[in-house]
Structure 1
């Protein structure tokens, strides 16, 4: 099989028909063998029913159902581990990333002998100013954390060769962040620019809390810098305490009346916040070790339609 398209899906009953209507002509126009892996990440709406109805009319559609909502990156992992294509494309179902770009990605990979082709957004005007600012901050941070160049404004819309997919599968990651893992591999890569569109239907499944979680996983999964930051903050706190001690001693020698409660209150609050921050940073790493020691799977597959006789095309 030439091409696999992995599509994480969570409560997307409204946008699924629009997605199929747009991506199917693109894939069939490539004139290659393909499959579309829709990974149902524990949807609670009519998404499973819609997928089954679509599969009756679309033999190349393959539905993988997870037992519960495991998160976007884990759903993507489930699809990558089961994709059978020589090339694998990952794309979101909301149509903000245009499926028409897949043809250009495949052509660039084949002609240039590339293992990775990133989809890079040239226009984020559909995002809010806050999201654009946080995205810029994230990518600046990501490049320093990974230690290798990370394509700016490249999300999870990308094409991977079989070599790249197998390399990702072999990595012992419990909380994968593919937008950083893929550049870290250092494989020959290229970029395809596109304009990001508005969501076709439904609501975003990536609120601020998930964005923060992604940023934390990105940092703690690739660098021990936060632990060093905690050490530096501790040293800074000690230095500040020494300075305060000198000031208090000087006031005592010079006979100044020092009420005391302001400086003490400030120092206590500062040191308390500093300790909590350091403990929180340490806890993130301990949590990752704890998760790895538990050895629990990041996701559980309930069914894979590839193991079931497909419906006849109607």
Structure 2
């Protein structure tokens, strides 16, 4: 067994405002566990002072480890970097905004040990602090994923989870290019349980998951784990065929009755309908081809620029926000 029992992976992007509150709550929660631990804080190419603040806190908190990516690679990529660099027998992933309470980690670790579980999901039992739009879109997302992927996907479970070393090793060996861990982990079939908690308000700063990223996550989830979008293209093609067949019958009937019509209207509608469906189908096929292309390229999704656990040098100076853009 490793001397490090627990690794806590915290992806961060422009979180300088919340770091003091995070350290103030996370450190006591982990110290009281009385086990060897490390906090793997992954700076996802932040344009603010996130990396500098983490490095400074690391001088007085030796368990705090900074892993800095060379450029912004996305939340799931930063989470992947943290999982790959973690060394603990158990690994917890948690966001930096403190909406997922660090105090729940002790309950998750206890449940895993006592019940012999490989995965423990933090499940949001109360989302009253979220906006009406966020609560309803999140509910729709989980319902859709459970229909597409299967009932193994726990409802209201995000990226706050505890994994055994065996699960982490399996995840590291998978060839996923754009992993969505909230679907990928349940698909592995390891023994799992849940720990409920009340979702809190963001401690400081602004959300790093606007509507655009939420939509992108939903699309990655659907495209990575289901061929349903391709089946949508098939159904669109079938609908277009039926519509064109109806137009053809209509044209024959009108011709048989000897009714004189301009003709261009029905032709125009048919061309528009066929063109639209063909473009939709090509777009869906193109999305899957693009994923195959990325997989064949086999390029890394992130690049480690600095790891305080293996480097004794000072942290490289952060670029200014203007330069980062």
Name the TM-score class by shorter chain: over 0.9
| Structure 1: runs of 5 or more not aligned | none
Counterparts of 2:31 and 2:284, CA distance in 1: 49
Counterparts of 1:231 and 1:85, CA distance in 2: 46
Question: By how many angstroms is 1:26 displaced?
Answer: 0.4
Other structure's SS at 1:194 match:
strand
Counterparts of 2:267 and 2:27, CA distance in 1: 67
Query: TM-score if structure 2 supplies the norm length?
Result: 0.92
Counterparts of 1:155 and 1:247, CA distance in 2: 52
Counterparts of 1:153 and 1:93, CA distance in 2: 18
Counterparts of 1:49 and 1:303, CA distance in 2: 12
In the TM superposition, 1:68-107 aligns within 5 A as 68-107=71-110
In the TM superposition, 1:10-21 aligns within 5 A as 10-21=13-24
Q: In the alignment, which residue of structure 2 is the partner of 1:233?
A: 236
Question: By how many angstroms is 1:148 displaced?
Answer: 4.6
Counterparts of 1:167 and 1:81, CA distance in 2: 11
Question: By how many angstroms is 1:15 displaced?
Answer: 0.2
Q: In the alignment, which residue of structure 2 is the partner of 1:29?
A: 32
Q: In the alignment, which residue of structure 2 is the partner of 1:202?
A: 205
More off after superposition, 194-203 vs 141-150: 141-150
In the TM superposition, 1:1-314 aligns within 5 A as 1-309=4-312
Counterparts of 1:112 and 1:310, CA distance in 2: 43
Q: In the alignment, which residue of structure 1 is the partner of 2:317?
A: none
Counterparts of 1:310 and 1:106, CA distance in 2: 34
Deviations 1:248-287 (A, max 9, x none): 2212222345344443333333222211211111011111
Other structure's SS at 1:227 match:
helix
Is the CA contact (8 Å cut-off) linking 1:148 and 1:184 kept in structure 2?
A: no
Deviations 1:96-118 (A, max 9, x none): 11111101100000000000000
More off after superposition, 186-195 vs 217-226: 217-226
More off after superposition, 246-255 vs 83-92: 246-255
Counterparts of 1:221 and 1:290, CA distance in 2: 14
More off after superposition, 262-271 vs 51-60: 262-271
Query: TM-score if structure 1 supplies the norm length?
Result: 0.95
Is the CA contact (8 Å cut-off) linking 1:6 and 1:90 kept in structure 2?
A: yes
| Structure 2: runs of 5 or more not aligned | 315-325
Deviations 1:178-223 (A, max 9, x none): 0000000110000011111111111111111111111111111112
Pair 1:57–1:310, CA change in 2 (3 A): farther
Question: By how many angstroms is 1:174 displaced?
Answer: 0.5
More off after superposition, 218-227 vs 233-242: 218-227
Is the CA contact (8 Å cut-off) linking 1:4 and 1:34 kept in structure 2?
A: yes
Question: By how many angstroms is 1:130 displaced?
Answer: 2.4
Question: By how many angstroms is 1:134 displaced?
Answer: 2.0
Is the CA contact (8 Å cut-off) linking 1:13 and 1:45 kept in structure 2?
A: yes
More off after superposition, 221-230 vs 101-110: 221-230
- Please provide the CA RMSD for this pair: 1.5
